[in-house]
Amino acid sequence: LELRSALDHAVNEGHFLLHYQPIVDLVTGYAVGFEALVRWAHPSRGVITPEEFIEVAEESGLIVPMGRWVLEEALRTVSEWRRILPPGGAPYVSVNVSVRQFREAGFVEQVRNALHHTGVPPQSLMLEITETLLMKDDEQRIWADLSVLREMGIRIAIDDFGTGYSSLGYLRQRPIDIVKIDKTFIDDMVTSPQLVGGIVSLARSLQLVVVAEGIEDMAHRDLLVRMGCPLGQGFLFSSPLGPTEVLAWMTSAS
């Protein structure tokens, strides 16, 4: 209860900030996109990571106003990148969306309006939805909304793939561009590479782009490249960065 009222206060006072983690081309090392990850700048406790408050934010419904702020802020930031970086050189921004946000009427309109007033093209936005949350309920309506968003040109990603029970076969007929393989599978990859290898090759045959999450060492990166996995994310490349650090990283990385 205490956390909930503190969170309510934080939503109203604007105590959130976003960090951005590069999603890189595993061969060239260049960033194609950045995942926006929310942080809570708590007045006395310092910066709090989402593991400590996302669940409460979901349960209390505060994820809805918080998520609206996250979307707007991520788009303001990507519009800044587009202003500063050379034409065609700006990465997209990837925003985590809770199923709770989809359940609110008007989510599609909210995204459309946010793109419109920030002047960001839909191609510069990706939306991530976790596999486990997706399977819960309202499934048909959520897929319908995702179809509309995808037809606008927004990329749709399934996050934490492998932690739920959906199969790639199930995802085949769905409006999805990207599958993000959960870090737990990447961690186990050196001793048991078959699982990730299987996901990568099946995804490719379904024309889905794979992002491997939580890559921490070069051995994993090399193995993923040999498997044909195009994209990855992890501390090997960069931890989540503040908005201004992103530009420095973009211009120094090669």
Q: Mark the segment that binds ligand G (CB under 6 A) among 5-13, 135-143, 200-208, 234-242.
A: 234-242
Q: Which of residues 152-181 bind Na ion (CB under 5 A)?
A: 159-160
d(CA 39, CA 210): 26
**Per CB under 6 A, which region of 1-9, 165-173, 212-220, 221-229 contacts ligand G?**
212-220
Closer CB to ligand G, 38 or 227, in the complex: 38
Query: Residue 58 interacts with Mn ion (CB under 5 A)?
Result: no
Kindly tell me which of 85 and 110 has the beta carbon lying closer to ligand G.
Answer: 110
Closest distance to ligand G from the beta carbon of 25 (Å): 16
User: Binding of Na ion at residue 35 (CB under 5 A)?
Assistant: no
Q: Is 178 in the site for ligand G (CB under 6 A)?
A: no
CB of 94 to ligand G, least distance (A): 9
Query: CB of residue 71 vs ligand G: minimum separation in angstroms?
Result: 8
Least separation, in Å, of the C-beta of 94 and Mn ion?
A: 7
Using rule CB under 6 A, residue 50 touches ligand G = yes
Torsions phi, psi of 180, nearest 5?
-100, 115
Binding residues among 139-168 for ligand G as defined by CB under 6 A: 159-160
The full DSSP string for the chain is -HHHHHHHHHHHHT-EEEEEEEEEETTT--EEEEEEEEEEEETTTEEE-GGGTHHHHHHHSTHHHHHHHHHHHHHHHHHHHHHHSPTT-PPEEEEE--HHHHHSTTHHHHHHHHHHHHT--GGGEEEEEEHHHHTTS-HHHHHHHHHHHHHHT-EEEEEEETSSS--HHHHTTSS-SEEEE-HHHHHTTTT-THHHHHHHHHHHHTTPEEEE----SHHHHHHHHHHT--EE-STTT---B-HHHHHHHHHH--
Among Na ion, ligand G, Mn ion, none, partner that 214 touches (CB below 5 to 8 angstroms by kind): ligand G
Task: Please state, in angstroms and rounded to a whole number, the distance separating the CA atoms of residues 173 and 180.
Answer: 17
> Shortest approach of Mn ion to residue 63 CB, angstroms?
14
Q: Which residues bind ligand G (CB under 6 A)?
A: 21, 37-38, 49-51, 54, 63, 67, 70, 96, 98, 159-160, 213-216, 233-235, 240
Q: Which residues bind Na ion (CB under 5 A)?
A: 159-160
